[in-house]
Structure formats: C-alpha cells, structure tokens
C-alpha cells in the first residue's frame, strides 16, 4: 500500500557514516533512505552573551539544503540574502531538541554548533538532522571527555526523531516524500532513547485529527525512535 512497499510500521533503511569530514570535532553522514544529511559539530570556547559567566554551556544548530538537494532546484539562500521561514523554523527545532538532551552544566561554558546540511532530500530532513546531529554532538563530546576537558558526561540519553502521519487513511511510520506530500496530517516526534518526550509537533494542513489518531502516531514514533537510538549507540560506542 505504501509507495515504497514498506509495512505501516517500517522505517526506511538507515545508514550512518561517522567521520565523514575531517575538520569537524564530530561528523556523520546520515541516510534515511534517499534523505541524506551531513551533520557536523563544532566546539568553540565561547558562549552567547546571555549565559556568559553562568558556567553553563550552549548547543545550537543551523540547517541548510543544497540548491539541488530537491527534485527542482531551489534558490540558494546565501544568494537570495536570507534564510527562508522554513529553514529558520527547522533549525530552531533542531537546536531545542538537542539542548533538551544535554546537561549544560556538565558541558561547561562552551558552545557546540551542529550544522545539518541536506545533500539529498526525500522527506523527513528535519528528523534525520536531529538523529544525525545527535551523533555528531556525541562524537564531539567524546573528544572533550577523552581530552579531560569535560569530566561528567553531559549526554545521558540519546535524542532521536522520526516523522509519522496519516497516509491514505492509515497511520504510517517515517514518511518519505511521496507520502509526505499526500498526508493531510503528520507530525515530528522527538524523544530520548529511554522513551521520554522532548517535542511533539503534529499538524494538519487543510483537515483535522483526533486524539485517537494522535495516540496511534505516538505509538509508531516510540517504535521508530527506539530503533534509531539503538543505531545511534552502536555507531558512537
């Protein structure tokens, strides 16, 4: 029934290549099917003005898409002179999501910037960015801990995200682009590896949904995030 032939509760094949670039303190190329996102984590010894002197660290994220990551070429944001509304919305979400999984006191007064750049898009780029971004973050923090700069691990529980939606009347896990463009209701579910909720965004475009449907999607999301967390742990062990 799904265009890809997947079962309702089946995620796309996940592949993660850590250390994809050599300069970043942490990096990973995450592939969720045909959605490919390059995530890098950069450590800097400075924090935003509003927490200077607080002893707390900061984690922030930026998101971008290469112009031809999509089926039709999109205008390069650097050329059009500003980041579009969708970009801004997504990178704020990624930043909040990752921060929710960080003990900022254990991190100490430093900033980690996670850049998520979509090389190829086929739906679910923001969720892939969060899942892959956490891996880059984990690898960067590992470096800090190995060097003794951070003593107590600030990342206690992995953070991952998956989208679910109502496609052709059925709740399905991990929407790809053909499903996403048809689904009247879909949501992004960000959770920790141990099943705690960080952020739920579930919206209808031109329709509505019920609490029952919401709960069905939540069940699928829990399954998906559980699988992603297992993979995250295996590649960063």
- Give residues in contact with its own copies (CB under 8 A): 20-24, 27, 34, 36, 38, 40, 42, 44, 62, 64, 66-71, 73, 76-79, 81-83, 85-89, 91-92, 96, 99-100, 104, 113, 115, 117, 119-121, 187, 192, 196-211, 214, 218
Shortest distance (Å) from residue 68 CB to its own copies: 4
d(Cα 112, Cα 20) in Å, to the nearest integer?
A: 18
Residue 86 annotated as binding site: yes
Residue 99 annotated as binding site: no
Shortest distance (Å) from residue 209 CB to its own copies: 5
What sign for the dihedral angle of Cα 68, 74, 77, 79? Answer: positive
Residue 125 annotated as binding site: yes
Shortest distance (Å) from residue 113 CB to its own copies: 6
Shortest distance (Å) from residue 123 CB to its own copies: 13
Residue 43 in contact with residue 144, Cβ under 8 Å? yes
Write out 74-139 in H/E/C secondary structure. CCCHHHHCCCCHHHHHHHHHHHHHHHHCCCHHHHCCCEEEEEEEEEECCCCHHHHHHHHHHHHHHH
Annotated binding site for phosphate: 86, 124-126
């Amino acid at each position: 029934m799904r265009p890809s032939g997947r079962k309702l509760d089946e995620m796309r094949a996940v592949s993660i290549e850590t250390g994809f670039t050599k300069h970043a303190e942490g990096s990973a190329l995450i592939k969720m099917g045909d959605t490919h996102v390059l995530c890098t984590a950069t450590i800097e010894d400075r924090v935003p003005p509003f927490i200077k002197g607080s002893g707390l660290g900061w984690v922030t994220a930026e998101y971008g898409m290469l112009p031809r990551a999509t089926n039709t070429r999109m205008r390069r944001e650097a050329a059009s002179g500003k980041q579009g509304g969708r970009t801004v919305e997504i990178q704020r979400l990624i930043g909040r999501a990752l921060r929710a999984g960080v003990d900022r006191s254990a991190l100490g007064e430093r900033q980690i910037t996670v850049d998520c750049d979509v090389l190829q898009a086929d739906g679910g780029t923001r969720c892939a960015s969060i899942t892959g971004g956490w891996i880059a973050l984990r690898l960067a923090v590992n470096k800090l801990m190995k060097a003794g700069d951070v003593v107590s691990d600030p990342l206690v529980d992995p953070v991952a995200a998956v989208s679910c939606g109502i496609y052709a009347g059925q709740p399905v896990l991990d929407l790809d682009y053909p499903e996403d463009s048809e689904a009247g209701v879909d949501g992004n579910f960000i959770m920790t590896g141990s099943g705690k909720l960080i952020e739920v965004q579930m919206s209808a475009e031109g329709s509505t949904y019920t609490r029952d449907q919401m709960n069905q999607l939540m069940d699928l999301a829990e399954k998906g995030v559980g699988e992603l967390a297992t993979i995250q742990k295996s590649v960063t062990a």
